[in-house]
Amino acid sequence: MAKQPIFSGAGVAIVTPFDADNRINYPVFQKLIDWQIAQGTDAIIVCGTTGESPTLTHVEHSELIRQCVQYVGGRVPVIAGTGSNDTAFGLKLSNEAERDGVDGLLMVTPYYNKTSQQGLVDHFTYLADRVSTPIILYNVPSRTGLNIQPATYQALSAHKNINAAKEANGDVSSLAQTAALCGDELVLYSGNDDQIVPFMSLGAAGVISVLSNVVPKTAHDIAAAALAGDYKTAAALQLGNLDLCTDLFADVNPVPVKEALNLMGWGVGDCRLPLTKIGDGAREKLLRALKNHQLI
């Protein structure tokens, strides 16, 4: 039986706002959620890379997911980042998120200690055997030093609880191989905003997006046009926002996107160390892009 997407379109990899004392700013977080949903965002992805999950404590991580699910209140699907390079801890995070009612679990590949391709199969199978919520595998080799191979995706796609993959390795040829091998047994999402249209032309259901943090309607519209088969419109929108897609990564994510939101008046605060203030050159690029799109 073909696996159905947890969501189709553009899901926002939402930032985690902090106050002046570096604590999670829940009032701002709620305002961001309301704005995202009003602008057409198709899903909220909480506690991902863009949400600074590596510097959230276990208590903060769990509480942020719980409050997100509660505040969204079923308006759109909520997907929680629960991956870890410690399989047992990843299961603990996942089980907690399940109890809080998330619609999906986003699980990054192990990082630093990494593993082999067989280790990936064993790691994700262990987790999938012990959850009932659909899993989205997250492949981002630039951060983890580990790449999921198409044949590994094929092996994992046989598991009923492994629903999808967020592919951020930047390799469209590899994506095509994965799509050919897995067919409708694995839903695919672009993990890069500058590749939404090419990925969706190969069958991806949408994007898990950083761009959506600043222009949620635009990201939604790109994906919606592609879902409707109108690739001319989707491509025009994609190319028309290529400067934003690029300059939101002019420094380490999520440094630029938080800077952008602060410039737009959202008051999301700084990133936690070791992430630091945006560099001058990156800030100049970001300012140009934001002004070009009349966001400031």
What's the rounded Cα separation, in Å, for the pair 234 and 220?
10
Q: Share the mean pLDDT of the chain.
A: 97
Bridge-based pairing state of the strands 187-190 and 43-46: unpaired
What's the rounded Cα separation, in Å, for the pair 197 and 243?
16
Bridge-based pairing state of the strands 104-108 and 135-139: parallel
Q: What percent of the chain has pLDDT over 70?
A: 100
Query: Could you say which of 138, 189, 258, 285 is catalytic?
Result: 138
pLDDT in tens, 246-268: 999 999 999 999 999 999 999 99
Question: What is residue 272's DSSP assignment?
Answer: P
Query: Could you say which of 153, 166, 258, 285 is catalytic?
Result: 166
**pLDDT classification of 15: cutoffs 50, 70, 90:** very high
Residue with tokens 């012990």, as numbered in its chain: 130
138 is catalytic: yes
26 is catalytic: no
**pLDDT classification of 40: cutoffs 50, 70, 90:** very high
Q: What is the pLDDT of residue 21?
A: 97
Look at the chain and count its residues. 296
Tell me which CATH homologous superfamily contains domain 9-230.
Aldolase class I (3.20.20.70)
Q: What is the pTM of this model?
A: 0.97
